[in-house]
Amino acid sequence: MATKNNSLQEALERLSKMNANPRKQNAKYFQCKEGRNDVLVLPTAKDGHPFAEWWVHKALIDPSKPWIAVACDKHNDGGECVICDMAQTLKDQNFKGNEAIWKPLEAQKEMYSPVVDLNDIDAGVQWWSYGRSISGQFETWLRNIEEDEKPFYDMLAPQKIIVMYDKNAAPKDKYKLDRKNLKPLDPEVYDEWFATIKPIDEIRNNRKSADEKEEILGNYIKGKEKSLKAMSVETAKKTETPAATAKPTAKKTMVEEAEEEEEEVVITPKKKSSKLNALKDGDDE
């Protein structure tokens, strides 16, 4: 145990020397490796806690690359978001009928925490992007905290988070978290780490201008229109064969196979220049 702590201390010293001449580098993301991972979850100096949220619209630019996302200014800062507005308009217009179009438009929350991989301390602070199973565990720990206990990310009573990762397990069982007390680290080490933690919007760096968002949205709608035309043909056929079940995968194939026909389009936005408000015509006043 003592040797383990010593090596940790040595690594921290090495790290603090490294930070004396920081190299210019993009954000590093922490990836759990199969099996056991030991991480220190860091509060940010600014927030005092480690939980960063970032809202995005995914898979609009390229459905096969959902990591190319567009920041949602509405959910992130209460600003304007033409994509959210469009999703809302489509819902108001025809909730069920337009679902295939508005569903993928909806903003999704990404969750991040700055962490230090205790098996690779030299890597410095990395961003860990995680889903609900992990955030749920964090919440449970915080909810059940005893009066004399500190949160797991407290600098003065740090805890090592042990993450057992099994990539082949069912989604809810992929990650098993446990924690162990660590000796407090030198506050200077924290200061050095804090100094390297940028705000999450700089890390994700995927804000788009209103014009860019309109263009992305326009292209998305164009693509959807195509599939919807195909789908409406298929729906017509399906009414004759009630046995057909609505498996999404089956649907996809049908869309792909269906011929393009000029029939029943659920939505038809007008010119792009109309600020994509075409669908709203008549709604406002």
Distance CA 225, CA 269 (A): 9
Among residues 42, 84, 155, 189, the one that binds Zn ion under rule CB under 5 A = 84
Query: Smallest distance from the beta carbon of 52 to Zn ion, in angstroms?
Result: 18
Instruction: Say which residue the tokens 């693509």 belong to.
Output: 223
Q: How far apart are CB 16 and Zn ion at their closest, in Å?
A: 41
Both structure tokens of 228: 């919807």
Residue 155 is a binding residue for Zn ion (CB under 5 A): no
Q: Rounded to the nearest whole angstrom, what is the least distance from the CB of residue 217 to Zn ion in the complex?
A: 10
Work out how close the CB of 213 gets to Zn ion at its nearest, in angstroms, rounded to a whole number: 8
How many residues sit close enough to Zn ion to count as binding (CB under 5 A)? Answer: 6
Query: Smaller CB distance to Zn ion: residue 56 or 116?
Result: 56
Q: Which two tokens stand for residue 109?
A: 């929350």
Asked if 107 and 96 count as a contact pair (C-beta separation under 8 A), the reply is: no
53-82 mask for Zn ion (x: CB under 5 A)? -------------------x-x------x-
Q: Say if residues 130 and 138 touch (Cβ distance below 8 Å).
A: no
Write the binding mask 100 to 119 for Zn ion: x where contact by CB under 5 A, - elsewhere: -------x------------
* Largest interatomic CA distance in the chain: 74
In the chain, which ranges are continuous DSSP H helix?
Answer: 2-18, 73-77, 82-94, 99-102, 132-143, 187-196, 200-204, 210-238, 248-257
Shortest distance in whole angstroms from residue 97 CB to Zn ion: 22
What is the contact surface with Zn ion in residues (CB under 5 A)?
A: 72, 74, 81, 83-84, 107
